[in-house]
Copies of this chain bind each other. A is one copy, B any other.
Amino acid sequence: MKLYDFTLAPNPRRVRMFLAEKGIEMPPTEQINTREAGQFSAEFQKVNPRGTVPALVLDDGTLLTESISICRYFEELHPEPSLFGRDAKENAVIDMWNRRVEIECYAPAADVVRNSLEIFKDRAIPGMPNGVPQIAALAERGRASVARFVGRLDQQLADNQFIAGDYLSIADQTAFITFDFAKRGELEVPADAKNIARWQSEMAARPSASA
């Protein structure tokens, strides 16, 4: 088993946090520096033609991309402590919240970052080395979407210790890496989102936060 990782990217961090929270030892890793176009090297394109990290290669050669799918693989092998839910309802509620964070917050935050930062000029979609021009209006739409989600999440965290309820789940980890990533697009959580601030400081205090 081998994990292709990049310590400065948000999605590989989610996998590392997940493994840390479950007490699973990190598999052998190789760093793919996506800030220096390492994902487009001939060598890595042979591993993952999509040009994204994280990527996990199993011992039988199976390639797993998509950080959440990689986390699900480890969850199945090491069920305790569960971060995807312990019964049908928890599974569904956690999956729903994880998707909401991804669709209503991560995706629009990525729209902001990829469509406004100079470093992503002409490559506004992950995995594409060039040919995808930035769209300023999409960055603007992304800002509004993130603000809308922040309001909803603050409300959810007023009544719940964690995002999906009174237990830590993958949805918390997705949100935690999202808010850190969003800072690259100058999307700070506003000071009046007090419940998010409370949750963020609890998340930051966990050893997994530095994974």
Contact = CB atoms under 8 A, between A and B. Distances in A.
A117 interface: no
A146 to B, nearest CB: 12
Contacts of A77: 88
Interface string A30-57: 0000000000000000000000000000
Interface residues of A, number: 33
Contacts of A72: 88, 91-92, 95
Contact of A76 (B62, B87, B99, B100): B87
What is the copy number of this chain in the assembly?
Answer: 2
A93 interface: yes
A137 interface: yes
Main secondary structure of the interface of A (DSSP, over half): helix
Interface in A50-78: 58, 62, 64-66, 68-70, 72-73, 76-77
Given A72-B95, A96-B65, A125-B145, A89 B135 contact: no
